[in-house]
């Protein structure tokens, strides 16, 4: 079997599916939501169909895991007809990673009734609240531009900035979106790099803008963790994953330091680890804190195996 990761399945696909002509049509139909990804995914699937016509294929949607959000969490307070006519709503992303990490935590603790906040922190970052194995809320929105500060993405901003800067700089909507997606975040604030490793190195050398970028990133992550802690009425496990989450010892420390008022504490010695499944919270922490290496490929393989059987 062949498993394909597809970014956007709209609100139609709540799980992984076997590829059919209708599924390919839908992937193309949802291209407005993920113009850089979905058309390329469709081309790829068609190419595999041509070369291996008798091999069953599946699609694992990045948005599927988030389809358990309730309407009061996924809708924007925009005119309701925008949702009815154009499906304007929050979709989220990184769902395959969030599903894997929350599943791994449940297996590790032998419990399905957990309130978990998963921090997928990398060049693209998102925070997801997971209760009893289902997504309650997530930080990315209609597109992956929303949410926390990222490598090159701005995260949440006041949309009124768009026409304001368009007028000042004589740029189109597309050009402003390009800047918000590819020239903002760590790169935009530090004016140095989108890579958090470069940011950390620059901070050690006394670079103030790098320090500012890091602080803004940490603040944005803490804001979402705090929000989801309240939304779920507490949190059993805080999990860090992806490039920064798995490898940046100092970033994890800075984030948890700001959560001290919630009784969340790190064991600094245990936190001195990279890329290994490890409990990194102290014995007196109100919430367990884990480093959980993500494995989206395994999740795709497992879904594919289950579907083609």
Judge whether 98 and 88 are in contact, CB under 8 Å: no
| φ/ψ of residue 77, rounded to 5 | -85, 50
Query: Ramachandran region of residue 158, left (φ > 0), alpha (ψ -120 to 50) or beta?
Result: beta
Q: How far apart are CA 148 and CA 249, in angstroms?
A: 19
Q: Minimal CA–CA distance to 95: which of 3, 8, 224?
A: 8
Q: How far apart are CA 100 and CA 98, in angstroms?
A: 6
Residue 234: alpha-carbon gap to chain centroid: 21
112 included as an active-site residue: no
Cα three-residue angle 62-274-195, rounded to 5 degrees: 65
Q: How far apart are CA 33 and CA 245, in angstroms?
A: 27
Q: How far apart are CA 186 and CA 117, in angstroms?
A: 23
Residue 4: other Cβ atoms inside 10 A: 20
Both tokens of residue 218? 């940490």
Q: Which residues contact 292 (CB under 8 A, 6 or more apart)?
A: 101, 104, 105, 239, 240, 241, 246, 277
| Termini Cα distance of the chain | 10
Q: How far apart are CA 72 and CA 60, in angstroms?
A: 26
Q: Which of 11, 15, 62, 112 is catalytic?
A: 62
- Residue written as token pair 């590819």: 182
Active-site residue numbers? 62
């Amino acid at each position: 079997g062949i498993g394909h990761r597809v970014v956007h399945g709209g609100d139609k696909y709540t799980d992984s599916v076997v590829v059919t002509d209708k599924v390919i049509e839908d992937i193309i139909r949802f291209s407005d939501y993920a113009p850089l990804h979905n058309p390329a995914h469709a081309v790829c699937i068609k190419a595999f169909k041509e070369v291996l016509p008798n091999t069953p294929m599946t699609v694992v949607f990045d948005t599927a895991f988030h389809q358990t959000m309730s309407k009061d969490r996924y809708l924007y307070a925009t005119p309701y007809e925008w949702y009815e006519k154009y499906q304007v709503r929050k979709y989220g992303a990184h769902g395959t990673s969030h599903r894997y990490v929350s599943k791994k935590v449940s297996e590790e603790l032998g419990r399905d009734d957990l309130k978990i906040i998963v921090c997928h922190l990398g060049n693209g970052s998102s925070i997801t609240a997971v209760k009893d194995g289902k997504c309650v809320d997530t930080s990315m929105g209609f597109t992956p531009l929303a949410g926390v500060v990222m490598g090159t993405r701005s995260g949440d901003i006041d949309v009124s900035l768009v026409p304001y800067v368009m007028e000042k700089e004589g740029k189109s909507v597309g050009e402003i979106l390009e800047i918000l997606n590819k020239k903002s975040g760590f790169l935009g604030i530090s004016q140095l790099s989108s890579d958090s490793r470069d940011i950390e190195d620059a901070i050690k050398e006394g670079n103030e803008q790098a320090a500012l970028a890091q602080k803004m990133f940490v603040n944005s992550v803490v804001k979402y963790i705090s929000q989801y802690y309240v939304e779920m009425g507490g949190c059993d496990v805080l999990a860090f994953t992806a490039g920064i989450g798995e490898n940046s010892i100092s970033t994890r420390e800075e984030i948890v330091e700001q959560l001290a008022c919630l009784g969340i504490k790190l064991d600094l010695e245990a936190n001195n680890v990279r890329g290994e499944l490890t409990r990194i919270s102290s014995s007196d922490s109100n919430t367990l804190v884990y480093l959980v290496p993500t494995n989206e490929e395994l999740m795709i393989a497992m879904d594919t195996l289950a579907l083609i059987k």
